[in-house]
Amino acid sequence: MDIIKEDKENILNTYKRFNVVLTNGHGSTLFDQDGKEYIDFSSGIGTNIYGICDKEWIDAVCEQAHKLQHTSNLYYSEPQVRLAKLLCEKTGMKKVFFSNSGAESNECAIKAARKYSFDKYGEGRYEIITLVNSFHGRTIATLSATGQDVFHQFFFPFVEGFKHAPANDIKALDELISNKTCAIMIECVQGEGGVNALDPEFIKHIEKVCKEKDLVFIVDEVQTGNGRCGYLYSYMEYGVKPDIVTTAKGIAGGLPFGAILFSEKTEHVLGYGQHATTFGGNPICANAAYSVISRIDDNLLSHVRNMRKLIENKLIGKPGIKSISGKGLMVGIEIDEKYKAADVVAKGIENGVIMLTAKNKIRLLPPLNISEKDLTKGLDLLLKSLSEV
């Protein structure tokens, strides 16, 4: 079968796919249908955080698949409970709700923030401030939350009640807060918006103002979380304590899964019948997530930070490279204006390295356990690709 031709004919053309059919892999190596080898600097957009065919992950998935693939949330089941307990222990948060994706995690957080405010203050206090260049998902509400005009087209009317403050501008943020505000939602490192880490003072200010004005402080850890930035969750590096944390992408090592963590301030907000999902908390995904989260320890996190140093040492000062942004293995590479990031990524595919873009940066989200050898090999291919566009 001509996969590319049949894809174009049968699947909605919403993606500008690169010209490659990926079929299998191991570790940080991927293969296409012709057997060509690639170093994987994308991990399925930050999902396959232990790479391909990780033994413990496969065992976790298969073990549960042999027992019971789904229960629905009408019954108790062990994989969810084990995972929730582990997440609460590791974060100090009080309760968890499981979803299937990042957008759904943020939908849940948005609902919880509005209800928190409704319960305490009644109607009219519903506005959520997010940041310019944020990305929170593709549902109507999370698109509305997303602070990028390119996403606010075609699908009118969007959900009202979202305001967008420029990142790192404390004064502008404060000016948007009014007696209608119920929450502030941020990514500590903006992902799709260009791999921009926020200033620590800005994040600390948000925590403070949320406390003072009884707003819900939401941190979107969909991309930054689960070890990606060198900490279990990226907020931990800043020493702040969110009221709600949302996550997805890497949490189940490549299966569709998400989690929303609630602090003591928000743990009782959503009650019986006020939120639900058919697949959220699916036992196979939950078992996979347990195998992922239980292994994010100091060893892995220091490996992530060390591999970042290697990337910086290797790339900073090289021709065509202006700066490196992000944290841990969430890496943004600012290149000379004369280059287009998408062209470099396309050239990378020719040369055997799979990369991503974010705005006009090259973005790397390699598996967190990538070896020094594979990382070095991929970076050499990246530099080669940059020199050839």
Ligand X SMILES: *Cc1c(COP(=O)(O)O)cnc(C)c1O
Residue ranges in contact with ligand X by CB under 6 A = 101-103, 106, 135-137, 187, 191-192, 220, 222-223, 248-249
Longest dimension (CA), the chain: 61
Shortest reach from residue 173's CB to ligand X, in Å: 19
Which residues 6+ apart lie within 8 Å of 123 measured at CB? none
- The residue (of 143 and 301) whose beta carbon lies closer to ligand X is 143
Q: Which position has the token pair 């501008």?
A: 169
Q: Residue 307 in contact with residue 375, Cβ under 8 Å?
A: yes
Contact 87, 78 (CB under 8 A): no
Contact by Cβ (8 Å): 184, 215: yes
Comparison of 232 and 379: residue with beta carbon closer to ligand X: 232
Phi, psi of 114 (to 5 degrees): -65, -40
Smallest separation (angstroms) from ligand X to the CB of 221: 8
Tell me how far, at minimum, the Cβ of 254 lies from ligand X, in Å. 12
Comparing CB distances to ligand X, the nearer of 46 and 161 is 46
Q: How far is the CB of 271 from ligand X (least distance, A)?
A: 25
Residues belonging to the chain:
389
Which residue's CB is nearer to ligand X, number 189 or number 383?
A: 189
Q: Which is nearer to ligand X, 223 or 266 (CB)?
A: 223
Q: Where are the beta strands (DSSP E) in 120-193?
A: 127-131, 162-165, 181-186, 189-190
Minimum Å gap between C-beta 368 and ligand X is 16
By beta-carbon proximity to ligand X, the closer residue of 44 and 352 is: 44
CB of 58 to ligand X, least distance (A): 22
Rank residues 106 and 282 by Cβ distance to ligand X and give the closer one. 106
Cβ partners under 8 Å of residue 374, min gap 6: 27, 28, 29, 39
In the complex with ligand X, the residue whose CB is nearer, 220 or 237, is: 220
Residue 223: CB minimum distance to ligand X, A: 3
| Residue closer to ligand X, measured from CB, 128 or 222 | 222
What's the one-letter identity of residue 173? L
| Helix, strand, coil percentages, rounded to 5, for the chain | 40, 20, 40
CB of 268 to ligand X, least distance (A): 25
Shorter beta-carbon distance to ligand X: residue 49 or 386: 49
CA–CA gap between residue 383 and residue 354 (Å, rounded)? 13
Burial of 347 (0-12, 13-18, 19+ CB in 10 A): buried
- 306's enclosing H/E stretch is helix 298-315
Q: Output the CA–CA distances (angstroms, integers) from residue 329 to 30, 77, 204, 355, in the order listed.
A: 18, 33, 23, 13
Nearest residue to ligand X, using CB?
102
Which residues have C-beta within 8 Å of that of residue 12, sequence separation ≥ 6? Answer: none
Contact 327, 229 (CB under 8 A): yes
Q: Name the minimum Å distance from CB 238 to ligand X.
A: 16
- Peptide linkage before 283 cis (omega within 30 of 0): no
In the complex, least distance from residue 32 CB atom to ligand X, rounded to whole angstroms: 24
**Residues pairing with 258 in the sheet:** 99
The DSSP secondary-structure symbol of 177 reads -
